[in-house]
Amino acid sequence: MGVYREEFVVSSSSRFELIDITDKVREIVSKSGIKNGIVHVFVPHATAAIIANEHEKGLINDYITLIKRLIPPDAPWEHNRIDNNAHAHLAAGIIGPSRSFPVVNGSILRGTWQNIFLVELDGPRSHRRVVVTVIGD
């Protein structure tokens, strides 16, 4: 069994943003040489998250609307007294910092409408790291 790990950096241009990282993850899986196993996609950040869903402009906006409604940035969160981004920490904690996918015959097994996104919750940021670990044979 082998383990291959690589990371890349993306930048965001607004406070909330979904950034499609599917192609980059696919490239790393291919480069890993691992044909069957698992790929784990992780952001080492407390105010960003990873999801898998459809890359459709309306749905991307709907996600951002939903996050803002569930966890309003301007609510009186205690963390905002020191660092005006409590909503981003809370949303990141709920959505989660990682997702895993099966790797089958050298490809990521995912639904037709499942692209992989980094969810920016406290942008804009010039340096969001994404760590991709491929485990298998």
Kindly state the smallest distance separating residue 83's Cβ from Zn ion, in Å.
Answer: 4
Nearer residue to Zn ion within complex by CB, 17 or 122 = 122
Nearer residue to Zn ion within complex by CB, 25 or 120 = 120
Segment 72 to 101, residues that bind Zn ion, using CB under 5 A: 83, 85
**27 contributes a contact to Zn ion by CB under 5 A:** no
| Size, binding site for Zn ion by CB under 5 A | 2
What is the Cα–Cα distance from 27 to 33, expressed in whole angstroms?
10
What is the Cα–Cα distance from 134 to 53, expressed in whole angstroms?
20
Compute CA distances 17 → 10, 25, 26, 133, whole Å. Answer: 12, 18, 21, 24
DSSP one-letter code for 106: T
Q: Which residues bind Zn ion (CB under 5 A)?
A: 83, 85
